[in-house]
């Protein structure tokens, strides 16, 4: 794809609520780094930002806390507070930002609405329906959001109508089946429902070429731009000290998995691969960081496979602890399949710290260079690929060093540092909101 001038978003290729849920306990190729811009706070365009915010434990909330301080140096940003939200006591990232209540209908600049595929975004979806705006689409699959909205509003007739508008007769049939309790695990991916929300957007900003191409084809009348996902480097941890804390020797291959424990995160594939590594007598240890509904089932499977001394479940980690764990890690595991097409903040967390990853080899993951992000076949077929790559790194210190060097380049060259991503976002907004 032809590159645009520095400082602009990538153009798409041409083609012929009712409160928030309770608070609970990630190189895009072809994008050039924008030239440095002005850094004086309070100058520049006016933006009205709506997204989940900390202390909500979500990737988009983390993204907001990392990007907003940089954006506030370049623009006049007003944050729309989520319903029933209270700022955390250590929210220094809020200091340069104006804030308004979600109930306010006063205009405070270009509405920048962040949509993801979970209930934390219900109020943003309602705001989009009511007011329109520029959407930053974090999850190209919004099926779950549409279901949550219908359930919260008791609007199942609307759900059926809108799913039919997005996906035709098959969408209507799927909606009717859901009323009878019939659902399938692949329904959200086959019926993503994004058009329901995006047809009312002034423009859409995405983080991957994969998403950009699909949206440009589906909604040719809506401007689509791609900018890099902002992911800050974690606090630098002491690698040797953290490896000791995790019970790992100098030659132990430390693996890590970040994020909520769900079936789509590829945990069954991980367990099969770990069992094979154990049979091969590889010296390894897996650290699983995150929470989720599958945690207990995962623990039982680990015990049944006799891997209790090889796997550590950390649970939710502070930024400082996460920085230490990632510093100690030799290989990050991102085998998620299927996905909603989102750019993986977990993968970028690893890469920002110079830690290579293994990813499912399809879709948006293919935009990461293979020398830093080795590819495994999606699903169970990826067991052999994961074991092979782990064995190479365990046996070859030079391979580990080369992979770490490549990983660091991905984050540096990809424009993911928040101060660079903020400039790219503003450049894209200047194009689509003029």
Mean pLDDT of 83-98: 90
- Confidence category of residue 182, pLDDT binned at 50, 70, 90: very high
Q: Which of 242, 248, 214, 232 is nearest to 342 (CA)?
A: 214
Instruction: Please give the pLDDT value at position 297.
Output: 78
Cα(418)–Cα(416) distance, rounded to whole angstroms?
6
Q: Which of 133, 137, 138, 128 is nearest to 46 (CA)?
A: 133
User: If one looks up domain 10-142+192-226 in CATH, what number appears?
Assistant: 3.40.50
Cα(128)–Cα(381) distance, rounded to whole angstroms?
40
Q: Is the pLDDT of residue 36 over 80?
A: no
pTM of the full structure? 0.86
Tell me if residue 350 falls in helix, strand or coil: helix
Query: Could you check whether 10-142+192-226 and 239-413 share the same CATH topology?
Result: yes
- Domain range summary for the chain, segments of one domain joined by +: 10-142+192-226, 239-413
Cα(175)–Cα(250) distance, rounded to whole angstroms?
54
Q: Is the pLDDT of residue 11 over 90?
A: no
How confident is the model over 104-126, as pLDDT tens digits? Answer: 877 789 999 999 999 999 999 99
Instruction: Please give the pLDDT value at position 34.
Output: 41
CB 376 within 8 A of CB 386: yes
* Class level of CATH domain 239-413: alpha beta
Tell me if residue 431 falls in helix, strand or coil: helix
Instruction: Count other C-beta atoms under 10 Å from residue 385's C-beta.
Output: 19
Share of the chain above pLDDT 90, in %: 72
Cα(165)–Cα(171) distance, rounded to whole angstroms?
8
Residue in this structure with the two tokens 């299927």, named with its chain if needed = 338
Q: Is the pLDDT of residue 382 over 70?
A: yes
């Amino acid at each position: 794809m032809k590159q645009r001038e520095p400082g602009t978003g990538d153009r798409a290729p041409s083609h012929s609520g009712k409160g928030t849920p309770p608070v609970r306990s990630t190189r895009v190729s072809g994008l050039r780094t924008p030239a440095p811009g002005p850094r004086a706070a309070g100058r520049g365009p006016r933006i009205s930002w709506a997204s989940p915010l900390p202390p909500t434990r979500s990737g988009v909330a983390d993204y907001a806390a990392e990007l907003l301080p940089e954006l506030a140096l370049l623009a006049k940003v007003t944050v729309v507070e989520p319903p029933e939200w209270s700022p955390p006591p250590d929210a220094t990232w809020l200091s340069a930002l104006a804030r308004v209540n979600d109930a306010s209908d006063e205009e405070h600049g270009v509405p920048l609405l962040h949509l993801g595929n979970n209930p934390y975004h219900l109020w943003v979806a309602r705001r989009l329906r009511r007011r329109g705006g520029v959407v930053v689409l974090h999850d190209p699959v919004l099926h779950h959001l549409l279901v949550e909205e219908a359930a919260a509003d008791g609007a199942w007739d609307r759900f059926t109508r809108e799913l039919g508008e997005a996906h035709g007769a098959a969408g209507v049939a799927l909606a009717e089946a859901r009323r009878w309790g019939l659902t399938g695990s692949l329904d959200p991916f086959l019926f993503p429902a994004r058009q329901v929300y995006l047809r009312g957007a002034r423009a859409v900003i995405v983080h991957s070429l994969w998403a950009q191409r699909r949206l440009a084809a589906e909604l040719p009348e809506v401007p689509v731009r791609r900018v890099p996902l902002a992911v800050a480097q974690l606090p630098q941890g002491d690698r040797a000290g953290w490896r000791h804390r995790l019970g790992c020797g100098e030659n132990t291959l430390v693996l890590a998995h970040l994020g909520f424990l769900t079936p789509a995160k590829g945990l069954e594939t991980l367990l099969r691969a770990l069992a094979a590594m154990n049979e091969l007598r590889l010296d390894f240890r897996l650290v699983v960081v995150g929470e989720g509904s599958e945690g207990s089932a995962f623990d039982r499977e680990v015990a049944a496979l006799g891997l209790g001394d090889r796997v550590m479940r950390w649970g939710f980690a502070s930024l400082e602890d996460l920085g230490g764990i990632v510093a100690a890690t030799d290989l990050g595991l991102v085998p998620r399949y299927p996905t909603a097409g989102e750019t993986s903040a977990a993968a970028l967390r690893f890469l920002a710290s110079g830690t290579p990853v293994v990813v499912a080899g399809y879709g948006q993951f293919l935009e990461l260079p293979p020398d830093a992000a080795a590819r495994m076949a999606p699903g169970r077929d990826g067991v052999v690929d994961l074991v092979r790559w782990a064995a190479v790194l365990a046996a070859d210190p030079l391979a580990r060093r080369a992979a770490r060097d490549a990983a660091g380049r991905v984050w540096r060259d990809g424009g993911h540092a928040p101060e660079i991503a903020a400039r790219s976002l503003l450049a894209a907004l200047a194009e689509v909101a003029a």
